[in-house]
Amino acid sequence: MPEVLIVTGGGRGIGAATAILAAKRGYSVCVNYLERRAGADCVVATIEQGGGRAIAVPADIGSEDGVKRLFETVDRQLGAITALVNNAATLESQMRLDQMDAGRLQRTFATNVIGSFLCSREAVRRMSTRFGGHGGGIVNLSSSASHYGSPGEYIDYAASKGAVESLTVGLAREVAEEGIRVNAVRPGFIYTELHARGGEPNRVDRVKTMVPMKRGGNPEEVAAAILWLLSSEASYTTGAILDVTGGR
C-alpha cells in the first residue's frame, strides 16, 4: 500500500523539511499552504527533481470547508492518506495579554488548535479500521512554549500549543485500537520564518544561550524526529511528546 502524507503548512520551515524528507523515504506528499504558493511549488519541484511525487494544495485549515476540500483533493490525486503532520501554525506580534484583543486570539486558535482538530478528524475518518481504513500515523507540532508560556511575547501561541498536546494524548488513546498512532514533536528554538511574524526575525540568536547545547535547531532536525514517529521503528509509540529542544 503506497504511503500518502499530508503536511499542513508545508511550504516553508519545518513543514517543507518534513515534506522533502518524507518524499525521500517513499511517501507521496501533499504540501498544503495558505497563501505562499511559490514556497509550496518550490517544495514540490524539489521533491519531483528527486524522483518523488508531490502536489501543492491551498487550504485554510482553520476553515472546516477548507479542510474538507484539502482531504478530498488528496483522495482524488494521491489516494488514501496514511499519515498526517499537523504543522501549520501562526503567531502574531510580541505583546502582553493586556494588549491582546479577541480577534487575535480567534485567529491564533483557529489555525493552531481548530485546524489541528479538523485535520485529525478527517485523517481518522480515512485511516481508522473502525471506518474500513488500514491505519496510519499522525504527528502534531507543539512547541516548548507550551511549557514556558512565552510571557511578554505570545502567551496565546503558547496556550494553543498546550491544547495541541492535550489533543495528542487524548486522540492517541481514543484511536489506539484502530490502527492509528498519534504523537507530537515539541521543538525548541528553531531557525524558521515564524519568528519574523512575531516581530523579531533574529529571536533564536538572542535566546540560544538559554539552551544547554548553546545553539538553535534547524528544521531538518525536527523533520527527522517527525519521520521517526511516523515510521515502523516507532510502532509501539503513541501518545508521546518528543522534545527536540537542545536539552532545554
Domains plus CATH for the chain? 4-189+218-244 (3.40.50.720)
pTM exceeding 0.85:
yes
% of the chain beyond a pLDDT of 70: 98
Residue 197 has pLDDT above 70, yes or no: no
What residues are labeled active site?
Answer: 157
Please answer whether residues 112 and 90 qualify as being in contact, where contact means their C-beta atoms are separated by less than 8 angstroms: yes
Residue 151 has pLDDT above 90, yes or no: yes
Q: How many Å is the Cα radius of gyration of the chain? A: 17
pLDDT computed for residue 204 by the predictor: 83
pLDDT computed for residue 209 by the predictor: 85
Higher-pLDDT residue of 109 and 203 is: 109
> Distances in Å between the alpha carbon of 183 and those of 71, 96, 169, 238?
20, 31, 8, 5
pLDDT computed for residue 205 by the predictor: 81
pLDDT computed for residue 164 by the predictor: 98
Higher-pLDDT residue of 209 and 142 is: 142
